[in-house]
Structures are given as C-alpha cells and as structure tokens.
Amino acid sequence: MENKQDKPMLEVKLKKALYGTLQAALLFWKLLYNTLEEQEFKLSKYDQFLANKTINGKQCTIIRHVDNLKITTSKKVKEDIIKQPDEKFRKESH
C-alpha cells in the first residue's frame, strides 16, 4: 500500500485498543462507568468525572481525570474499592 506521495505505508488492524487513542479512552470510560455503577456509586449529573457513595457512614468520592482516579476515603475502604475494578480490568484486557 502507498500513500498519495507514492511512499510505502504499513496498515495494521489491532485486536485491542491502543493506549492514547480516542477509542481506548472511550473503552476505559465505559468500563469504569459500568464498574462504578456495579459498586452502586452515584455518578454526578453535573460532572461526569465525579462519583459518590456513602460507605460505613462516610462519604467516598472518586474523581476521574483522563485515565487517573483520585479516591477520597479511608485507606481500608480505598483498598476494597480498588480490588474490584483492578480484577475486572485485568480480565477485560486479556
């Protein structure tokens, strides 16, 4: 295959989303959104990057920025929250 300047090009079809692409970002967001809903977090209708849940009588907030999360809660609760999506993401990526 050649481009418009008759230079050779290589075209490939990926089996998985490539990090840094729009498709990868969308797939990550959908998987994260579904995981948070499964954990009964309430996603803010005003800010799609914010999710809240009361756990053991205390507020837990998750804020997403690109593909990073900030979780504000106790260390124990944070560890429990991280386990479920981490296991799910590992399964989904294989």
> Whole-prediction pTM value?
0.64
- Assigned domain for 5 exists: no
**Reported confidence tier of residue 92, pLDDT bands at 50, 70, 90:** low
Cα separation, 15 vs 18, in Å, equals 9
- Assigned domain for 50 exists: yes
Cα separation, 51 vs 83, in Å, equals 17
- Assigned domain for 17 exists: no
- Assigned domain for 32 exists: no
- Assigned domain for 6 exists: no
Question: How large is the angle between the packed helices 22-38 and 75-92, nearest 10 degrees?
Answer: 130
1: pLDDT strictly greater than 90: no
- Assigned domain for 58 exists: yes
Q: Say which range, 2-6, 33-37, 76-80, has the weakest mean pLDDT.
A: 2-6
Domain count, the chain: 1
Q: Residue 74: which domain range?
A: 40-92
- Assigned domain for 74 exists: yes
Cα separation, 35 vs 38, in Å, equals 5
pLDDT at 8: 83
- Assigned domain for 88 exists: yes
